[in-house]
Structure 1
Amino acid sequence: MIGCLCIHGFTGSPGEVAPLAEYLRKRTDWMIKTPTLPGHGQRLQLKGITYDQWFRSAEEELQALMERCETVYVVGFSMGGVIAVYLAEKYKIDKLVLLSAAFYYVNPRQLIKDIHEIIRDGWRSFRENPLFIRYKNKIFATPLTAILEFRKLVNEVRPLLPRVRVPALIVQGEKDGIVPPKSARYLYEQIGSEKKKLLFLPDSYHHVCYGPDRHILFMEVENFLLENGDY
């Protein structure tokens, strides 16, 4: 049996990877898991949570999947992509998919563009603007201690990249205002995988599973996971 572990991002929930997970469920007979990291989910409770708890939770989910499946893939979104690299260096997985992986974070140029878009949208609809809602939730629902733990996590995983040898698909939205494109380029250059592919989605923001290029993303991920070949 094939298993696929999909890991969401910082301050997020399994909903961030749900469209891709559902696509794969409909088109395969794989065992697909989308766990919730400690302190995350619909109601954030990040105070007092440490980054090693996120590692440990993801490891436990992966171990459980490996006990039931001969082949295991790991998909990670944003911070989940960083955790996925950690798992790939420590465990024998078969393929790795990294979506908007947050080895660098906050793209100032795109953030300014997003703010201008909010302003153009008009004051009356300001509170309903999805970009405003996204940034508001990130800012006001996240304690400083959690941000520091996130940075610790990234700093611990970066040195592991050259030791990761598993085939990897690296995906990045070019309009991402949270993780800049240089994060994907850095990841592609530093990861030790001989088989690797870098895919830029020209019209997508951070949440690539919901972006206008999502159908391209889904097909690329499916093809990557199903097929052998050069990347």
Structure 2
Amino acid sequence: MSSSAPVRPEAQPFSHDGDGLGFLLSHGFTGSPASMTPWGRHLADQGHTVRVPRLPGHGTHWKEMNRTGWQDWYAEVERALVELNDRCDRVVVAGLSMGGCLGLRLAQQHPDKVDGLVLVNPAVASSRFDVKLVPLLQHVVPAMPGIGNDIKKPGADEYGYDKTPLTALASMLRMWAEVRGDLAAVRAPLLFFRSNDDHVVDPSSRDLILGGVSSAVIDDVPLLDSYHVATLDNDAPTIFARTDQFVAEHVGAARDA
């Protein structure tokens, strides 16, 4: 592998300039913008402004992820959030899996810039024994088997990595701890999607998030026909439609409230 592997064509970021309602969509750990771009195109088709960034170390080669950490990923979504706020009147942040954790961090750090939060199978914890060993394992092996493409719908592909880089994973675990410790700072209206059959994120994250945030509006929506990458799965139309409805009902006057 070269020092800088090329970005896969399917993993390119997506951007659309539209009206004063902006959406920042973040993909998950070892995934790529491909998992969020269909959602982004749906929003763009309605005339909205959309950013789907590629997180550093993603969309190239898994070894590159071990050269990045959560501060790098967060800096990328933070940059996009600031840029959206400069051009839009309202901004909604949406995230899948680790992207949901990044969204929570944005809502904690920039409450005045996040008017709504949409989380799809977000992760802030894990009960898996091997994950608890990662701080030690990262010094022994560079990677574990991949977690990507947990999708029920045949033929769907998030164009992620087939390995889980452990130095990067250890960094994500540190981010989880930071975010868990400040969940009460999250006050934005929250739309929470959860797949009943998720092979990547266990129920502990849902309980921690919904029990910890201070959001006055929380809409908890079960997804009955999708696995982890629900944004590409059978329930994607439900996610898109419920987000439209939620934003129309709860985001319009968020900053004026």
Q: TM-score, normalised by structure 1?
A: 0.81
Residues 93-112 of structure 1 aligned to structure 2 (within 5 Å): 93-105=114-126
Q: Report how far residue 83 of structure 1 moved.
A: 0.5
Cα distance in structure 2, aligned partners of 1:74 and 1:43: 27
In the other structure, the counterpart of 1:57 is: 76
Rate the CA distance shift 1:33–1:131 in 2: closer, same or farther, 3 A.
Answer: closer
Which moves more between the two structures, 64-73 or 220-229? 220-229
- Closer/same/farther in 2, CA of residues 68 and 52 from structure 1, 3 Å limit: same
Among candidates 173, 176, 183, match of residue 198 of structure 2? 176
- Range with greater deviation from structure 2 (191-200 or 47-56): 47-56
The residue aligned with 1:34 is 52
1:122-141 matched pairs, under 5 angstroms: 141=163
Distance in 2 between residues matched to 1:56 and 1:31, nearest whole Å = 20
Q: Counterpart of 2:176?
A: 154
1:85 aligns with 2:104: yes
The more displaced of 220-229 and 16-25 is: 220-229
> Equivalents in 2 of 1:35, 1:223: separation in Å?
24
Moved more, 16-25 or 193-202: 16-25
Q: Quick one: which of 54, 65, 68 aligns to 1:46? A: 65
Q: What letter corresponds to residue 97 of structure 1 in structure 2? A: V
Which sits farther off after the overlay, 71-80 or 51-60?
Answer: 51-60
Tell me by how many angstroms 1:131 deviates: 5.6
The aligned length equals: 204
For the pair 1:227 / 2:245, whether they are aligned, the reply is no
Residue 97 of structure 1 aligns to a residue whose secondary structure is strand
**Separation (CA, whole Å) in 2 of partners of 1:59 and 1:101:** 18
Flag the structure with higher helix content: 1
C-alpha distance 95-174 of structure 1, shift in aligned 2 (>3 A): same
Give the 3 Å change call, closer, same or farther, for CA 29–194 of structure 1 in structure 2: same
CA RMSD of aligned residues (A): 2.3
- Is 1:17 matched with 2:36? yes
* Deviation beyond 3 Å, 4+ runs, structure 1: 105-108
Secondary structure, counterpart of 2:182 in structure 1: helix
Distance in structure 2 (CA, Å) of the matches to 1:215 and 1:182: 26
- Give, as a single letter, the amino acid of the residue that structure 2 aligns with 1:69: C
Q: Structure 2 length normalisation: TM-score? A: 0.74
- Mapped partners of 2:44, 2:126: distance in 1: 30
Q: Could you say what secondary structure the match of 2:250 adopts?
A: coil
Partner of residue 198, structure 1: 220
Once the two structures are TM-superposed, the CA of residue 47 in structure 1 deviates from its matched residue by 2.0
Would the aligned equivalents of 2:150 and 2:229 in 1 still touch at CA under 8 Å? no
